[in-house]
Amino acid sequence: MRHILAALVQNQPGVLTRVSGLFSRRGYNIESLAVGRTHEPGVSRITILVDGDGLVLEQVVKQLDKLVDVIDVRDITAEEHVDRELVLIKVEAAPEIRGEIMQIVDIFRARIVDIGQDSLIIECTGDHGKIRAIENSLKPFGILELVRTGKIAMVRGPKYGEVQNSGGK
């Protein structure tokens, strides 16, 4: 089963290495990893997408929560949440077919962020299904490059850390 883990951590050197190391020691492959500062000074948020057995992953979450620089960590998979990814796609786009590509971009509510002589760079945000769908729609034109962020996710409702049973310290 695919799990989304959200961790608040101190923004310190080596935190990401220690967090990812716990997964590799357990034989888990991290499918996506997104890290960024939060609105609180000195605090970052790590969002990890990982496939694995729920019971073993629960142990990993408990071990993560014991790390000194980890403020809080929880599996938000079963909670109501909003998740998004960002993709940049550079696609072949001779001037005579740009109109067709622009229609696809509009359908997905994406944006063209750069125009080259024979290419376009398209930015799209959405859930995994939307990202996969725009990628499949643009493949026939010739994808030159593609880069994706990891999944980011946020639980609906109260501020992170204020939900009961969050497993915090």
Domains of the chain: 2-79 (3.30.70.260), 82-148 (3.30.70.1150)
- At 76, list the tokens: 């938000």
pTM of the model: 0.81
Q: CA 19, CA 9: separation in Å to the nearest integer?
A: 10
Can you give the pLDDT of all 169 residues of the chain as single tens digits?
889 999 999 999 999 999 988 888 878 888 899 999 999 999 999 999 988 777 778 888 888 888 889 999 999 999 999 999 999 999 999 999 999 999 999 999 999 999 999 999 999 999 999 999 999 999 999 999 999 998 999 999 877 655 444 444 4
CB–CB of 87/135 below 8 Å? yes
Nearest to 57 by CA among 71, 45, 75: 75
Length, in residues, of the chain: 169
The angle that helices 98-107 and 128-138 make with each other, rounded to 10 degrees, is 170
